[in-house]
Amino acid sequence: MTKKDLTRIAVVCLVSTVIVASALTFMDPSHWVIYVYDSFVFSFCIGISISILIHIFLHRLKLLSLIPRTGALFVLFLIGGLVGTEIGTIILKMNLDMQDHFRLLLFNLLLATIFGGIAFLYLTLRGKVQRMAEKLKEKEIQEEKLMRLKTEAELEALQAKVNPHFLFNTLNSIASLISENPAAAEETVEKLSGLFRYTLQSTVNSTVKLSEELEIVRLYLQIEKIRFGNRLEFEIISDDRLNNIDVPALLIQPLVENSIKHGIALEVQGGTIRVEAKQIDEECHIIVTDSGKGFTAEAGETGFGLKSIRERLKLLYGNKATLNVFHDGNTHLHISIPIY
């Protein structure tokens, strides 16, 4: 039995002591102190005895139907009352004759039946409450597990869309170089192998270190620079404190791809792309800036790259992560994610 069980038994015994002692005091007010003390000792001994018996046989009692269970409880109450009375008599060092001892025993057996029923009702209700709490906890765990599996499945589905899109654009770059610059095409194929390894890894792990993500962005920009030549300049800046934080795989590359598609490729003179990762308070801010005209707000909301990133951020971080687009002569794609 736990300390809480003993505490509750003591409370019940105190209540029963007050009731019994009040009744006896009403009959003989001159001995109320003795009545209170004796009543507490007997109540406590009987209460402990009955509680121990019920605790031992509770599982078997639950298996019985109503009538056999009631009979079994009555027997346990009588045994507990008998044992508690004898222990109380020894503790109080009472020297009673047979008739007084029998009267005391009958009185205590009556009390044992009443308070034993209360104790069994309490233990039964407590068991039901505990089972309900366990079922609710198990249900919460199952719901959390299902939600996690659902999130992982949705992320994998989005990742499956991102990877072919990413590789398709890279292969187009290689195709355009084969006839114009075979050496550059060969170099691009080698770099593409690195991209393949990364994309394969990203299908296994939904998150990577920021330093790895920035390195793959650098590799991607080097491939695009082979295609654009002097028309493309780029710069990658990162706060060293952020190197080991986890970010969604292929988070930044689609932003860079959008910047090249909408801000660089359409400009005759080309332009510059700047990727910056910095820490502000407890957030990681990733900003991709291009010197081109950028794209319309509608394209930013409906385009595959930005839309997929917004969906992935929401799945992973809820409302704690954002992706915004700003124009001030340059175009800025700004992601903020919490640092855990």
Q: What is the pLDDT of residues 214-238, one digit of tens each?
A: 998 998 898 888 778 889 999 999 9
Determine the 3-state secondary structure of 266 from DSSP: coil
Which has more pLDDT, 288 or 103? 288
pLDDT, tens digit (0-9, with 9 covering 90-100), for 302-336? 455 677 788 888 878 888 999 999 888 888 999 99
Question: What are the distances in angstroms from CA 110 to CA 43, 80, 83, 106, 279?
Answer: 12, 11, 14, 6, 74
Check residue 284 and give its pLDDT: 96
Q: Which of 265, 304, 333, 296 is nearest to 166 (CA)?
A: 304
pTM of the model: 0.53
Go through the domains of the chain in sequence order and give each one's CATH number: 3-139 (no CATH), 179-338 (3.30.565.10)
- Binning pLDDT at 50, 70 and 90, where does residue 55 land? confident
Check residue 297 and give its pLDDT: 47
> What is the CB neighbour count within 10 angstroms for residue 190?
9
Q: Which of 329, 212, 330 is nearest to 274 (CA)?
A: 330
CA dihedral 320, 324, 328, 329 (to 10 degrees): 140
